[in-house]
Chains A and B, each alone.
Chain A
Amino acid sequence: DGGITQSPKYLFRKEGQNVTLSCEQNLNHDAMYWYRQDPGQGLRLIYYSQIVNDFQKGDIAEGYSVSREKKESFPLTVTSAQKNPTAFYLCASSIRVGTDQPQHFGDGTRLSIL
């Protein structure tokens, strides 16, 4: 079955530590996205990528970094510069960044601070 796989499901970060969240898709989609969700809040865009080796900042990119070396993979690193990283992180993909293409989501990674 085609889909988006996020791992791990739960992740804990120590002070001053960088952690990386994995997102893999086998839908052959060009576009991939990372969102952050806080309790009682809507999703906010962190980064997105339209194609391999390309990515752009979203609304809340500070303290995060991404790479897009392969079409199917879009890992997100939460750096020590992100002072409030506790949240639910969702990865999504779509055929392209376009007007008529729905986004498909993974099951998320919940990040907490130790």
Chain B
Amino acid sequence: KQEVTQIPAALSVPEGENLVLNCSFTDSAIYNLQWFRQDPGKGLTSLLLIQSSQREQTSGRLNASLDKSSGRSTLYIAASQPGDSATYLCAVFQAGTALIFGKGTTLSVSS
């Protein structure tokens, strides 16, 4: 059964730092991996989707990489800002139904 793990569970950094969030999954037979942002009490906002055939995707200050063979993905956030404070969720899609989620990394960026 697929399991998705996100490390660290929480992270605090000063404004301006570059940072990396990690996601690992146990079964490499995935179709895609998606990174989401969740603000407190809100739904999820899709940040990046990486197909299994891709190595990375970029959007603005965000860059997500995927190494399917090792079961790892990273989300790189450049020049962090207080507005980046949120919980970041990683999810993988396999044949069948819907996404399988990690528990998230809660990021706090101080000014």
Interfacial residues, chain A to chain B (CB-CB below 8 A): 4, 6, 33, 35, 40-45, 48, 56, 58, 88, 90, 92, 97, 99-100, 102-108, 110
Contacts and interface: CB of A to CB of B under 8 A. Distances in A.
A103 B32 contact: no
A40 B98 contact: no
B45 A99 contact: no
B34 A42 contact: no
B103 A107 contact: no
Interface residues of B, number: 23
A42 B38 CA distance: 11
Interface SS of B by simple majority: strand
Contacts of A102: 34, 46, 49
Contacts of A103: 34, 46, 98-99
B42 A108 contact: yes
Interface string B83-110: 0000001010100011101111000000
Contacts of A108: 41-43
A112 to B, nearest CB: 13
7 contacts: A33-B98, A41-B103, A42-B89, A48-B97, A88-B41, A90-B44, A99-B51
Contact of A100 (B41, B43, B51): B51
A104 B36 CA distance: 10
Contacts of B99: 43, 45, 103
Nearest to B5: A42
B21 interface: no
Contact of A107 (B4, B43, B98, B102): B43
A74 B49 CA distance: 25
A99 B93 contact: yes
A11 B99 CA distance: 26
Given A100-B32, A100-B51, A105 B93 contact: no
Interface string B6-17: 000000000000
Given A43-B89, A100-B51, A105 B101 contact: no
Contacts of B104: 42
